[in-house]
Amino acid sequence: MEILYFLIFILTILILAYNRVPLLMSMAIMVGLTVGWTELRHIFYVPSWFRFANGIFAVTLIGFAITPLRRLFISDRLYTVFRKVLPRVSDTEQEALDAGSVWWERELFSGRPRWRKLLKVPAPALTGKEQAFLDGPVEELCRMANDWEISNTHRRLPDRLWDFIRESRMLGMIIPERYGGLEFSAQANSAIVMKLASRNLTTAISVMVPNSLGPGELLLHYGTKAQKEHYLPRLASGEEIPCFALTSPLAGSDAASMSDVGIVCRGEHDGKTVLGLRLTWKKRYITLAPIATLLGLAFKVRDPDRLLGEQTDLGITCALIPATTPGVVIGNRHMPVGAVFMNGPTSGEDVFIPMDWVIGGQERIGQGWRMLMQSLAAGRAISLPALGTAGGKMSALMSGAYARIRKQFNIPIGKFEGIEEPLARIGGRTYRMDSARKLTLVALDQGERPAVLSAILKYQLTEGNRQCINDAMDIHGGKGIITGPGNYLARFYQAIPIAITVEGANILTRSLIIFGQGAIRAHPWLLKEMEAARDPRPEARKEFDKTLFSHIGNSISNMVRAWMLGVSGGFATRPPLKGPTARYFRQVTRMSAAFSFTADLVLLSLGGKFKLKEKLSGRLADTLTHLYLCCSVLKRFEDDGSPEEDLPLLMWAMEDSLHTIQQSLLGVLANFPMPGIGTLVKWIIFPLGLPYPGPSDRTGKHVARILLTENESRDRLVAGVYISDQDDASGRVHRAFHLALTSTNAENAIQNALNEPVTFENCEALVQRAVESGVITEEQATTVRLAQEASRAVIQVDDFSREEIEGPAAAVSQKNP
């Protein structure tokens, strides 16, 4: 009898925990069961040891259920400990933590994502005006931008392109129409940058920067009415070219440690003595600085004479300074790798500016870091992810086409498994990158400013771009490594480190920001516990007790859910949809519970020391990142109408992300700070072994086939990039790809009949024989000839005379090679 009751008891615990019944209610139910069993001892025989254990358990539950007792013996004592171990958070760290909003990442931290909420998010869409702008001015600018000439002849963006950008008001995409701007959505902003980047990175970056973190963005949210009315129309028309100077020689990723300073003082301005700031700064890596007419500047304000109040160190502040202001120095150009956009240093010494040049006026002094972090919370999800996605899409588009055009051993190289593998990685990653980009942009357009998801997008989409471009270079072989007008990959490859480094270097973003900030902001209880523990008021102890035990209940629930979902293979949860994606919804729910439980244990075991455990933080960041990527892939598939032909892309992306999540969690558990706990947790979250082997060869083959043919799935995958119809590097590939597919049947017929494959070397003679023998028609012969000639043009690489490469020195060096 006692065994039966014990089983009922355990089953009740599991059901309560799995369904996340509130902890106090669960305790009441368990006390009822315990007391009920105690009464039954008069009817049934119960061993004394069982009665004793039952009594202890009942007393313990009662102690937990009665709030005054619980506070006296548990939470008030933990409150004191918690206050001591909390890590110190600087003002700038706190402002970064407070920046932006929390969106879907909260669901992932909860361990129980509410899928219906995600599926109700609108599908991405552009307005008619935005689409017309993409199809008109943006398409025309792409047509005007010659990548080789910009990068090697002009080594800058030509004036005619700058003039077109100004006339089209592309520098005012984020500025409202009432100020003369375009007032486009985040989705349109991203789509424009992505399309331009697929043609030429210098053009894309030159348009991107004024519409990203900088004077325009800061003025919109924080500027005074006078500042907005003066500067926004001029920025929208391109009359003013802005830049924003943040990075200092000794303050890169740790930008808040800048030594640039503004001293509050009185000085002369327009013939009057006014209150202002005397600035001294030295900045570098400032995009558009060499041609900027308006300098946005971040610096620390000091008030040694207490002209503004009792404080002397007033904090980071942002100001707008015309580049013609006496003392402003615009230095020489930097030359970024792989692109020739304007970038360079700027400096100034004892430059006086009036107070009304501070963005937002004097009242905004000291709020600069918060302003920057709030802007970055949204902007980081737009510009660099658009560049990364453009690289992935172009890798998919060009590598698939080249792998079909290029033959070795009389077979298109794309049919070799060694090429199928990188093609599959390119296709799957690009599908996943674009899915995350689209979902996050919709959130931005709904008013969200998800700081953690923005960091995920910046990190993952720039890293994904690096992986796609590397695979594309491997597929192209010698074609990719010989530079010249015919090389459409070289600049993408060379410029990869730019996006990896700026707006928070990826190493920093992964190891410190994604999980470090995410755990505090997105966790359902951690931030509330921290706020209660920092609050010295007596009533804070009551709030701490409430949040602490809610946190404990959440952790226990996720532990039970992780184990039950592991034992059942995910079938212990109901997916929101039926069909081919149902199993993936189940697995993401399972891994969300496993992630939340593991994260809680890591944070509990390390406390404030977690800030120093960057390797563990990085692995947990990878887990959170790929949970979000999985969600975006599932949402994208539904938004696209669940096309069956896209299933290989979805399957590759999901299976690769689930495998990454699994390996990341294993890495955390293998290095768990408390010996033995990692092994126990591994058994809880992976009770039946490791379920995610990664994408299969079969799935990879299907993805590669999508890239190697013309089909709707491929069109959806690469949608949004510039498809050249000109006689240039990429245009020749598009034409040759189409002709190669069109001529396939005729070429096969020739080879079968004449027992010799068609190449551009034997094409004319072989095709003539085939026509004369009736194997193919004259029309088919024309197609084959065109296809072979087009293939020859694509396979060719550029060469130059020594004089073209070396200049006048070539004639001398020929005598002394």
Q: How far is CA 551 from CA 255, 588, 596, 686, in A?
A: 34, 22, 11, 23
User: 3-state SS string over 750-779?
Assistant: HHHHHCCCCCCCCHHHHHHHHHHCCCCCHH
Contact 334, 345 (CB under 8 A): yes
Tallying the residues shown for the chain, one arrives at 817
Cα radius of gyration rounded to whole Å, the chain: 31
Cα–Cα nearest to 18, from 686, 528, 602, 572: 572
Structure tokens at 803: 């004089």
H helix or E strand, kind and range, residue 244:
strand 242-245
Give CA 270 to chain center in angstroms.
46
- List CB contacts of 770: < 8 A, sequence separation 6 or more: 749, 750, 753, 754, 776, 781
239 catalytically annotated: no
- List CB contacts of 401: < 8 A, sequence separation 6 or more: 733, 734, 736, 737
Residue 642 dihedral angles phi and psi, to the nearest 5°: 55, 50
Q: How many CB atoms lie within 10 A of CB 76?
A: 14
Report the distance separating Cα 711 and Cα 704, nearest Å: 12
Contact 564, 14 (CB under 8 A): yes
10 Å CB burial of residue 614 (0-12, 13-18, 19+) is middle
Report the distance separating Cα 733 and Cα 743, nearest Å: 15
Contact 667, 614 (CB under 8 A): no
Structure tokens at 464: 């994904």
Cα–Cα nearest to 519, from 417, 399, 668: 668
Cα–Cα–Cα angle for 133, 136, 138, rounded to 5 degrees? 75
Structure tokens at 264: 């509050």
Identity of the amino acid at 747: E
Contact 453, 103 (CB under 8 A): yes
Structure tokens at 589: 């729910």
Cα–Cα nearest to 504, from 516, 513, 494: 513
Report the distance separating Cα 15 and Cα 28, nearest Å: 14
Say which of 105, 217, 448, 503 is annotated catalytic.
503
Cα–Cα nearest to 414, from 56, 16, 706, 735: 706
Cα–Cα nearest to 746, from 766, 775, 768, 774: 775
Q: How many CB atoms lie within 10 A of CB 117?
A: 11
Q: Are strands 313-322 and 294-302 parallel, antiparallel or unpaired?
A: antiparallel
10 Å CB burial of residue 641 (0-12, 13-18, 19+) is exposed
Report the distance separating Cα 328 and Cα 279, nearest Å: 10
Q: What is the DSSP letter of 642?
A: -
Identity of the amino acid at 404: R
| Residue positions annotated with a catalytic role | 503
